[in-house]
Amino acid sequence: MTAQLHYTPEIARQTRPIYESLRHVIPEVEWGVHAPYIAAINKLKREMNAVLLVHNYQTPEIFHGVADYTGDSLGLARQAAETDADIIVQCGVHFMAETSKILCPDKTVLIPDLEAGCSLAASITGADVRLLKERFPGVPVVTYVNTSADVKAESDICCTSGNAVRIVESLGVDRVIFLPDNYLGRYVAAQTGVELILWHGTCEVHERFTGAELRDYRKRWEGIQVIAHPECPPDVLEEADFVGSTKGMIDWVGDHRPNRVVMITECSMSDNVAVEFPEVEFIRPCNLCPHMKRITLPNILRALETRTHEVHVAPETGARARRAVEAMLAVA
């Protein structure tokens, strides 16, 4: 459907300011490929009253070229709840698009690739949660947003990596079922002293990091600051100078302006942050999330042109899931 796109002098002129900021993460020779898509997407989204919610792990040409809002899972959920656009295009993974649909049942929510999943979301079903609730009656269920709508619908309250500690503390109980990220759960248990009944889910990207690797960075790169996402294994988090959500990590770099830093997380994020802080040296181990990388400029344009792929959540499931997501938004 997309007409042949050409890198015309007019598109070069229009997109020049964006390219200037991306110069040290995107080679000039690649710009002629991205720029026509960026111009077409930005035009079409205005005509359609659509917003693009872009996760911090998206590639720099998406993150800096076409986003209306960027952020971590919590920030994007907040933006979805507040937007008055007719259409939300979720540039992230499927659970993020479902969260937007849960919060905005009357809006059209599109995801450019339906296969953009998540190993955490795939690790647990609504039926699993029902069994856990039978086994531990009366124990509140806190569910990471990296889950399906069915799982959220069985939960008392959701959390993200940015607020998990606050959410668990807000319940004022000494025992919680915490699903499905085992490593995030262990981190939250250590921070709160609350007993957490855990699941065996892990993030296929963050579980690959090791404490030994971090110690090696410290040996090889003098003075390096090591900051990590709480989906990493415990030995990694023990080695880190700071642990936080993707937004927490970005804010930490902005506040501390280290000379040299390594972000122990998905690797596109370092490129996105390096654009904002060119004076900071980023050491970049490259662990890509294959699901996040399914989102591209061509399929974002196709999503707008064809209004696909629309994300649906059954109304009854959506209403129950919304209670858990809104309970989270009310706390933090």
Which chain residues interact with ligand SF4 by CB under 6 A? Answer: 93, 118-120, 146, 203-205, 231, 266, 289, 291-292
Report the nearest approach of ligand 13P to the CB of residue 231 (Å): 5
In contact, 79 and 101? CB cutoff 8 Å: no
Return the one option of ligand 13P, ligand SF4, none that residue 56 interacts with (CB less than 5 to 8 A, by type): ligand 13P
Report the alpha-carbon distance of residue 102 to residue 321 in Å, rounded.
Answer: 7
Report the nearest approach of ligand SF4 to the CB of residue 92 (Å): 8
Residue 218's identity, in one-letter code, is R
By C-beta, is 31 or 150 nearer to ligand SF4? 150
Show contacts of 183-186: CB within 8 Å, 24+ apart. Answer: 183/207, 183/230, 183/231, 183/232, 183/233, 183/234, 183/237, 184/144, 184/230, 184/231, 186/234
* Residue in the structure block whose two tokens are 């993200």: 160
First to last CA, the chain: 43
Report the nearest approach of ligand SF4 to the CB of residue 88 (Å): 18
Q: Nearest Cα to 224, choosing from 285, 286, 283, 265? A: 283
By C-beta, is 83 or 123 nearer to ligand SF4? 123
Return the one option of ligand 13P, ligand SF4, none that residue 76 interacts with (CB less than 5 to 8 A, by type): none
Residues in contact with ligand 13P by CB under 6 A are 56, 72-73, 146, 160-162, 203, 231, 245-246
Distance between alpha carbon 87 and the CA centroid of its chain, in Å? 19
Return the one option of ligand 13P, ligand SF4, none that residue 72 interacts with (CB less than 5 to 8 A, by type): ligand 13P
Report the alpha-carbon distance of residue 280 to residue 303 in Å, rounded.
Answer: 36
DSSP 4: P
By C-beta, is 11 or 295 nearer to ligand SF4? 295
Return the one option of ligand SF4, ligand 13P, none that residue 291 interacts with (CB less than 5 to 8 A, by type): ligand SF4
Report the nearest approach of ligand SF4 to the CB of residue 61 (Å): 19
By C-beta, is 44 or 248 nearer to ligand 13P? 248
By C-beta, is 45 or 291 nearer to ligand SF4? 291
Report the nearest approach of ligand SF4 to the CB of residue 288 (Å): 9
Q: Nearest Cα to 300, choosing from 58, 31, 6? A: 58
184: left (phi over 0), alpha (psi -120 to 50) or beta: alpha
Return the one option of ligand SF4, ligand 13P, none that residue 73 interacts with (CB less than 5 to 8 A, by type): ligand 13P
By C-beta, is 36 or 185 nearer to ligand 13P? 185
Return the one option of ligand SF4, ligand 13P, none that residue 161 interacts with (CB less than 5 to 8 A, by type): ligand 13P
Return the one option of ligand SF4, ligand 13P, none that residue 61 interacts with (CB less than 5 to 8 A, by type): none
The tokens describing 308, both together, are 């696909």
By C-beta, is 98 or 231 nearer to ligand SF4? 231
Report the alpha-carbon distance of residue 177 to residue 332 in Å, rounded.
Answer: 19
